[in-house]
Amino acid sequence: MSENKELFKVEKSETVGRYAVASEDLKPGDVIFSETPFAYGPKSDSSCLCLGCHSPVDCAYLCSTCSWPVCGPECEQLKVHKENECQVFSNAKVKFQTVEDPTDVCLQYECITPLRMLLEKERDPKRWEEEISIMEAHNEERKSRPIWEFNQHNIVEYIRGPCKMDKYSEELIHLICGILEINAFEARTPSCYAIRCLFPKLAILSHNCVSNIHHAVDCNGDGELKDCVVTVRAAVDIPKGGELFSSYTFSLWPTLVRREFLRESKFFDCTCPRCSSPTELDTHMSSLKCQRCDNGVIISTNTADDACEWKCTHCDYKTNGRAVRKVFAAIQNEIDQVEYIGGPQGIQQRETIFRKYRSVLHPNNSYMTTLRSALIQLYGKTEGYTLEDLPDVILERKIELCLQLMEVLDIIEPGLSRIRGITLYELHGPIMIHARHQYQYGAINKEDFKAKLQESIDTLGKAVEILKNEPISQPEGQLGQMALSAHEQLKENFDVLVDTA
């Protein structure tokens, strides 16, 4: 289908407001629409970054016009900075205050993206009125939250005071803060630093904890809105008139955590089919093992009530949602402690946590699934643990981890999802190398080896189909290019690989 044709239309209802449906039957990979952001810039709680390309900076170089951090002369000329806050800061003589550690959260950056929104509103009033002003901001609910006072001090008063932009009312600035907090999507710069983008069309899509679309943001760092584009594709078959769903949360979180996040950040209680299922659509991503009986699992008796009773499916053991949430928080804390540890130590520490909780959590529980995903990335890429180094028992371990993760992803991330593409890529290598070892040892014959080699090639081909849609500016897009090249070489050299095994 043509990528220039938008394959959705907007509907309205009294209960959910605006939502989007497919305007014709969609197949996986069909481009539904592409759009540029109304504005983009640093996330809240950002550390110091270049206001041109949004890469982390040490603040050693400051813009020659406004004296705020940029990478160098080229970045200070980028439109996203030069035509926005640079003019405001230089006119008002607002200087960047030196920080001790540029990697810490820098509150001076809180105003940047809201300020860019205000300036874009003046430049493009038509788009503001048609697409932005009608967005939900939940300001009445936000007034009772700490975020309101935080924004008042760090954004509203800063823009109207030191920045000398009191022509903008407090009400308007708070509205913009709310629109950003509720509707903005995360994107990554080429340096893999997270920023936020406000995509009006993407924001129309309703939330579902099992998305049926895939969106990829390409921010190439050139500092122009036209160079920051989101492309939205169908992840699965979607019939004409079928509602389009994106996910506002992380798919590997358990229901208690997802619902809590959505309630706190998006101001609604999710009642999607996954959140309404005590077993999370039979994935058991929230389930715990019963410690009193052999076969029982502990599940929620009412997923709409986070504090409800949780009961074993086989015996009379009971607990409650608050206790389960504490268990989840403790495990998450342990996983967070090792998040940035790589190499052999990273593998060992994650395997230790995995062993520690496998008698507590259902095998598919979110935290077991999260650990699997991390281990899959480490096995085969770490010094001493490259694929060629791995003994058969570890190759089998990686294959097992991939297959177990895929069983869960088939339900919670169906179709052309980014994590499925990465997992398929990680799976193809150990299948091929393990089969080669077995053939060399005489454990399988030539025909069996050829079948396993073809399985590896087919698995890689599936990864290519997904990852080819990722922007080349992102690691997944670069992985897709590697996968495509490897896939072509494997197909071309199939007979040679068999003969030389």
Q: What is the pLDDT of residue 225?
A: 58
Q: What is the pLDDT of residue 5?
A: 81
What is the per-residue DSSP string for 425-436? HHHHHHHHHHHH
Closest CA to 376 of 415, 350, 352: 350
Find tokens 């499916």 and name the residue. Answer: 313
- ∠ at Cα 420 (429, 426), nearest 5°? 15
Q: What's the token pair of residue 404?
A: 């177990």
Helix-helix angle 343-357:321-337, to 10 degrees: 160
CA-CA distance, 201 to 272, in Å (whole number)? 21
Superfamily of domain 1-37+199-248: SET domain (2.170.270.10)
Residue 387 falls in which region: left (phi positive, over 0), alpha (psi -120 to 50) or beta: alpha
Are 184 and 198 a contacting pair, CB within 8 Å?
A: yes
Q: What is the pLDDT of residue 359?
A: 94
Start-end of CATH 2.170.270.10 domains in the chain? 1-37+199-248
Q: Which residues pair with 57 in a beta bridge?
A: none
Topology of domain 322-500, CATH:
1.25.40
Q: How many residues does the chain have?
A: 501
Are 317 and 311 a contacting pair, CB within 8 Å?
A: yes
Are 9 and 21 a contacting pair, CB within 8 Å?
A: yes
What is the per-residue DSSP string for 205-269? SEE-SS-SEEEEEEE-SSS-GGGEEEEEEESS-B-TTPBPEE-SS-TTS-HHHHHHHHHHHH---
* H helix or E strand, kind and range, residue 21: strand 17-22
Chunk the chain into consecutive blocks of 10 residues (it has 501) and report each block's average pLDDT, rounded to whole numbers. Answer: 74 89 97 96 95 94 97 94 96 95 96 98 96 93 94 97 97 97 93 93 96 92 71 97 97 97 94 97 98 94 96 96 97 96 94 97 98 95 87 96 98 96 97 96 96 98 96 93 97 94 84
Q: What's the token pair of residue 101?
A: 């550690």
* H helix or E strand, kind and range, residue 458: helix 446-467
Start-end of CATH 1.25.40 domains in the chain? 322-500
pTM (2 decimals)? 0.92
